[in-house]
């Protein structure tokens, strides 16, 4: 669900999925940021700057060959339950991304994804903010496809 809030155009997106993979499988897929350029739309490059304990500092470039923008994020990893991402980058006035993974009794997982962002320059928010949040459903779908691909490629079976 895509929401635009108030005159400052805070872009928000939320999605809840029931997937037949374990919480650990899905957590590990989302936490493997170095592989994002292989399957996440609009992620051109990723560089891990630092990894200390449960915290991960990442530089990510999103966009195309003609137009790309690099920004920094900090992720807090609580395996296999939750990944919280924020960005101290001056590009954003506000950036929060959250993945939660809730194990079901049958071994499957309820995944919740939430993105809240507001670019600092108002013009940039107007031009890019909505389209970035508009891309969130395609990004979530890419993770779902990747989970299926990885599990079939390794011979592992996802839960039925």
d(CA 142, CA 119): 24
Mean pLDDT value of segment 82-87: 97
Residue 137: what pLDDT? 79
Domain extents in the chain: 2-153
pLDDT for 65 equals 59
Instruction: List Cα–Cα distances, 33 to 61, 86, 93, 124, in angstroms.
Output: 12, 14, 23, 25
Average pLDDT (118-146) is 70
Distance CA 12, CA 3 (A): 5
How do 43-52 and 68-78 pair as beta strands? unpaired
Give this prediction's pTM: 0.79
CATH 3.30.530.20 applies to domain 2-153: yes
Summarize pLDDT for 28-70 with one digit per residue, the tens: 999 999 999 999 988 899 999 999 999 999 999 887 656 778 8
């Amino acid at each position: 669900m895509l929401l635009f809030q108030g005159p400052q155009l805070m872009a928000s997106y939320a999605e809840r999925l029931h997937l037949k993979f374990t919480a650990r499988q899905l957590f590990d897929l989302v936490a493997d940021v170095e592989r994002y350029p292989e399957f996440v739309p609009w992620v051109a490059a990723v560089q891990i700057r630092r990894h200390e304990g449960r915290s991960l500092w990442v530089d990510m470039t999103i966009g195309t060959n003609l137009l790309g923008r690099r920004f920094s994020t900090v992720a807090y990893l609580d395996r296999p339950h939750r990944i919280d991402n924020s960005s101290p980058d001056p590009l954003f006035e506000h950036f929060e991304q959250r993945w939660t993974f809730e194990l079901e009794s049958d071994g499957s997982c309820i995944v919740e994804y939430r993105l809240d962002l507001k670019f600092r320059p108002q013009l940039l928010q107007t031009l890019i903010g909505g389209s970035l949040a508009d891309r969130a459903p395609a990004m979530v779908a890419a993770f779902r496809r990747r989970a299926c691909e990885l599990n079939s490629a390794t011979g592992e079976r996802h839960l039925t």
